[in-house]
Structures are given as C-alpha cells and as structure tokens.
Amino acid sequence: MTGQHHARLRKAFHVLTGALILVAGLSACGGSGSGDPFTNPPLVANSPGGGGQSLSFAYFQRCVNPIFLQALPITLNGVPTTNSCSNSGCHANATGTGGAFRIIPAAQPLDVTLPANTPDVIRASDMYKNFYSAQGEAVVNDPTQSLLINKPLVRNVLHGGGLIFASDQDPHIKLMEYWISHPMPAGQDEFSTAGYNLFTPADPVNGVCNTN
C-alpha cells in the first residue's frame, strides 16, 4: 500500500469520525430521541408567558369611567369650549375619530359584589369594553408614561381633542393616576377584592374613590 493510499484512508477516517461526533451532538441538543437527530421532539414544552399586573375594574367603573362622560371645559386650538371624551367626534365607540381609545357612553355599571356577576358576565359587558380600552392606554404603575394621562394634558404628545385638563393637579387626573398607580397584586385579576381597598370604606359600591 502506497503512502498516498494511507493518506487517503486517514482522511476518510477523520471525516467519518467528525460526522459521528456531529450526529451525537445533534441528538443531545435537540434530537427527537427516536434515533433521527434531524427531527424535532414530538412535543415542545414552552414555559408559560409571564403576564403583567392588571388594574382594578371596580375602581374604573366607579371612579374613572364617569370622567369620560362628563361635559368638561376644554381648550381646542386656543379656543375655550365644552366637550366630553365620549363625544361622537372624539372617543365614542361607534362614531369617534380619536384613535384606538374607545368609550361606549351608554355602558352600565355592574355590582361586582353580586355572585351572579361572574368574571365571564362582566367581560361580556359594555362597561368592561370601556375598562379594557382605557387600560390599554395606561402603563401599569406609571402614570407619567400613560397616554391616558399625557394626552388630555397635551404633555409631550399631540392630542386631537386639545387640552382637557389645565394641570396634573386636576381632580380627574388624580383619579386616573390613582387607578394606574394601584394595580392588583401579582397573580390576581382585575376583579380581585384587593381593589376594594381603593375605596374608603373598602366598599366598591358605596365607598368614596381614593386619590391618595
């Protein structure tokens, strides 16, 4: 056997050894365990996604939703006037032109203390649609970064509806800031009874809306 033949055999041996190592590595990293390292496992167990905290539904419907229905003195293009957030030209669900934030003016409040008003019942209501839309404009636990606060103040963001509140000391702003700043405990949903503590006394039906 010539030296050249020996060299070819050594090269072939090294190539075969490398291929076997690659196959073994693939089997260990993500092979199916069925003997074919080039297929995926039959089941892939992904870890559940982590969800953020929710805001209180009870506080929203008693203390925040009424703000959107009120006729408020506003300044639009430098001209004083009166309007409401749920006006047909603003954030009314059916006819509004105010972007993604939508309010159903006729939404009726629900007694969250009644057993018949289960989460499924409430989530099917118009009031919940208002809650869901408003929460989408909030950065939980950070009012200063929330469009729900910054837009009506025209604070570093444009607002087609003009200046709604003269400053962040307005009582309406304080209600919305309190709502955003007091999310439900981690792992509890928007109907958590922890939300009752946002009232004085801790009664979501008759309690006074806290602001500090």
pLDDT in tens, 112-138: 999 999 999 999 999 999 999 999 999
Residue 153 has pLDDT above 60, yes or no: yes
Three-state DSSP state, 38: coil
* Amino acid sitting at position 113: T
The pLDDT of residue 100: 84
* Residue 64 CA neighbour count, 13 Å, CB half: 30
Phi then psi dihedrals of residue 163, to 5 deg: -85, 115
Q: How many CB atoms lie within 10 A of CB 53?
A: 16
Q: How far apart are CA 212 and CA 201, in angstroms?
A: 14
Three-state DSSP state, 134: helix
What is the arithmetic mean of pLDDT over 68-94? 82
Phi then psi dihedrals of residue 157, to 5 deg: -155, 145
Q: How far apart are CA 212 and CA 203, in angstroms?
A: 16
Facing residues of 209 across strands?
A: 199
Q: What is the mean pLDDT of the chain?
A: 81
Give which of 147, 145, 123, 122 is closest to 134, Cα–Cα. Answer: 147
Q: pLDDT tens digits, residue range 30-61?
A: 333 444 444 444 444 443 433 589 999 999 99
Question: How does DSSP classify residue 143?
Answer: G
The pLDDT of residue 78: 84
Q: Where are the domains of the chain?
A: 1-40, 57-209
* Residue 25 CA neighbour count, 13 Å, CB half: 6
Phi then psi dihedrals of residue 126, to 5 deg: -65, -35
Phi then psi dihedrals of residue 106, to 5 deg: -90, 5
Q: How far apart are CA 104 and CA 62, in angstroms?
A: 15
What is the arithmetic mean of pLDDT over 188-206? 98
